[in-house]
Amino acid sequence: MRAGLFSTPRPEPGHVLPVAGSGVLLVAALPLFLLLGWPLLGWGLAVLLWLFVHALDLVLARARRPTANLAGSAVQAFGVFFKAIALLVVLVATAAARPHVAVAAAATYALAYTFELGLSLATYFSGAAR
Protein backbone atom coordinates (compact mmCIF):
# COMPACT_ATOMS: atom_id res chain seq x y z
CA MET A 1 0.00 0.00 0.00
CA ARG A 2 1.30 3.41 -0.87
CA ALA A 3 2.18 5.57 2.12
CA GLY A 4 0.44 8.69 0.82
CA LEU A 5 -2.82 7.02 -0.18
CA PHE A 6 -4.74 8.09 2.91
CA SER A 7 -2.77 11.24 3.71
CA THR A 8 -3.36 12.91 0.32
CA PRO A 9 -6.46 15.13 0.45
CA ARG A 10 -8.95 14.86 -2.39
CA PRO A 11 -12.04 16.89 -3.21
CA GLU A 12 -15.36 15.46 -2.09
CA PRO A 13 -16.82 13.41 -4.95
CA GLY A 14 -20.38 13.70 -6.16
CA HIS A 15 -23.12 11.75 -4.45
CA VAL A 16 -25.20 10.97 -7.54
CA LEU A 17 -23.41 7.79 -8.67
CA PRO A 18 -23.41 6.03 -5.27
CA VAL A 19 -27.05 6.94 -4.60
CA ALA A 20 -28.10 5.82 -8.08
CA GLY A 21 -26.15 2.58 -7.69
CA SER A 22 -27.78 1.68 -4.40
CA GLY A 23 -31.18 2.62 -5.82
CA VAL A 24 -30.66 0.31 -8.78
CA LEU A 25 -29.61 -2.44 -6.38
CA LEU A 26 -32.82 -2.00 -4.39
CA VAL A 27 -34.92 -2.16 -7.56
CA ALA A 28 -33.01 -5.27 -8.68
CA ALA A 29 -33.74 -6.90 -5.31
CA LEU A 30 -37.50 -6.87 -5.95
CA PRO A 31 -37.48 -9.75 -8.47
CA LEU A 32 -35.27 -11.71 -6.08
CA PHE A 33 -37.82 -11.22 -3.31
CA LEU A 34 -40.59 -12.38 -5.65
CA LEU A 35 -38.68 -15.45 -6.85
CA LEU A 36 -37.58 -16.60 -3.41
CA GLY A 37 -40.91 -15.90 -1.72
CA TRP A 38 -39.43 -13.51 0.82
CA PRO A 39 -41.78 -11.02 2.50
CA LEU A 40 -42.40 -8.04 0.23
CA LEU A 41 -42.98 -5.93 3.32
CA GLY A 42 -39.28 -6.38 4.10
CA TRP A 43 -38.30 -5.05 0.68
CA GLY A 44 -40.76 -2.18 1.03
CA LEU A 45 -39.46 -1.31 4.48
CA ALA A 46 -35.86 -1.33 3.22
CA VAL A 47 -36.80 1.01 0.36
CA LEU A 48 -38.73 3.27 2.75
CA LEU A 49 -35.76 3.46 5.13
CA TRP A 50 -33.41 4.16 2.21
CA LEU A 51 -35.67 6.99 1.00
CA PHE A 52 -35.91 8.40 4.54
CA VAL A 53 -32.14 8.45 4.98
CA HIS A 54 -31.53 10.13 1.62
CA ALA A 55 -34.28 12.69 2.18
CA LEU A 56 -32.71 13.54 5.54
CA ASP A 57 -29.32 13.80 3.82
CA LEU A 58 -30.76 16.37 1.42
CA VAL A 59 -32.13 18.42 4.30
CA LEU A 60 -28.84 18.22 6.19
CA ALA A 61 -26.86 19.21 3.09
CA ARG A 62 -28.42 22.66 3.33
CA ALA A 63 -27.11 23.05 6.89
CA ARG A 64 -23.64 21.97 5.79
CA ARG A 65 -23.13 24.77 3.27
CA PRO A 66 -21.63 27.38 5.61
CA THR A 67 -18.65 25.35 6.85
CA ALA A 68 -17.53 27.98 9.36
CA ASN A 69 -20.92 27.92 11.07
CA LEU A 70 -20.87 26.07 14.39
CA ALA A 71 -24.63 25.57 14.35
CA GLY A 72 -24.34 23.81 10.98
CA SER A 73 -21.85 21.37 12.49
CA ALA A 74 -24.18 20.66 15.40
CA VAL A 75 -27.06 19.99 13.01
CA GLN A 76 -24.83 17.61 11.03
CA ALA A 77 -23.83 15.70 14.17
CA PHE A 78 -27.44 15.45 15.31
CA GLY A 79 -28.48 14.27 11.86
CA VAL A 80 -25.95 11.44 11.82
CA PHE A 81 -27.08 10.19 15.23
CA PHE A 82 -30.76 10.67 14.42
CA LYS A 83 -30.49 8.61 11.23
CA ALA A 84 -28.85 5.70 13.02
CA ILE A 85 -31.26 5.76 15.96
CA ALA A 86 -34.32 6.09 13.72
CA LEU A 87 -33.21 3.11 11.62
CA LEU A 88 -32.62 1.01 14.72
CA VAL A 89 -35.96 1.95 16.30
CA VAL A 90 -37.88 1.02 13.16
CA LEU A 91 -36.01 -2.26 12.70
CA VAL A 92 -36.30 -3.29 16.37
CA ALA A 93 -40.03 -2.47 16.42
CA THR A 94 -40.48 -4.48 13.23
CA ALA A 95 -38.43 -7.35 14.67
CA ALA A 96 -40.72 -7.47 17.70
CA ALA A 97 -43.84 -7.66 15.53
CA ARG A 98 -42.65 -9.54 12.43
CA PRO A 99 -39.13 -10.98 12.67
CA HIS A 100 -38.97 -12.26 9.08
CA VAL A 101 -39.86 -8.84 7.70
CA ALA A 102 -37.21 -7.18 9.88
CA VAL A 103 -34.50 -9.61 8.77
CA ALA A 104 -35.38 -9.12 5.11
CA ALA A 105 -35.46 -5.33 5.51
CA ALA A 106 -32.19 -5.19 7.47
CA ALA A 107 -30.36 -7.45 5.01
CA THR A 108 -31.63 -5.53 1.98
CA TYR A 109 -30.86 -2.13 3.48
CA ALA A 110 -27.41 -3.29 4.61
CA LEU A 111 -26.63 -4.55 1.12
CA ALA A 112 -27.71 -1.25 -0.47
CA TYR A 113 -25.77 0.76 2.13
CA THR A 114 -22.62 -1.32 1.62
CA PHE A 115 -22.87 -0.99 -2.16
CA GLU A 116 -23.30 2.77 -1.84
CA LEU A 117 -20.32 3.01 0.51
CA GLY A 118 -18.16 0.99 -1.90
CA LEU A 119 -19.09 3.24 -4.81
CA SER A 120 -18.40 6.33 -2.69
CA LEU A 121 -14.94 5.06 -1.76
CA ALA A 122 -14.19 4.11 -5.36
CA THR A 123 -15.14 7.56 -6.65
CA TYR A 124 -13.20 9.24 -3.84
CA PHE A 125 -9.97 7.34 -4.43
CA SER A 126 -10.25 7.59 -8.21
CA GLY A 127 -10.33 11.39 -7.98
CA ALA A 128 -7.25 13.52 -8.47
CA ALA A 129 -5.33 14.56 -5.38
CA ARG A 130 -5.25 18.24 -4.44
Per-residue pLDDT of the chain (130 residues; tens, 9 = 90+): 566 666 777 777 788 999 999 999 999 999 999 999 999 999 999 999 999 999 998 888 877 665 666 777 777 888 889 999 999 999 999 999 999 999 999 999 999 999 999 999 999 888 776 6
Per-residue burial over 43-54, b if 16 or more Cβ lie within 10 Å, else e, is bbbbbebbeebe
Look at residue 57 and tell me if it is in a domain: yes
Look at residue 86 and tell me if it is in a domain: yes
Look at residue 79 and tell me if it is in a domain: yes
**pLDDT for position 106:** 97
Burial of residue 72 (CB within 10 Å: 0-12, 13-18, 19+) is middle
Look at residue 129 and tell me if it is in a domain: no
Number of domains in the chain: 1
Q: Phi/psi zone of residue 127: left (φ > 0), alpha (ψ -120 to 50 degrees), beta?
A: beta
Q: What is d(CA 18, CA 115) in angstroms, rounded to the nearest whole number?
A: 8
Range of the domain at 77: 16-123
**pLDDT for position 74:** 79
Look at residue 8 and tell me if it is in a domain: no
Look at residue 66 and tell me if it is in a domain: yes
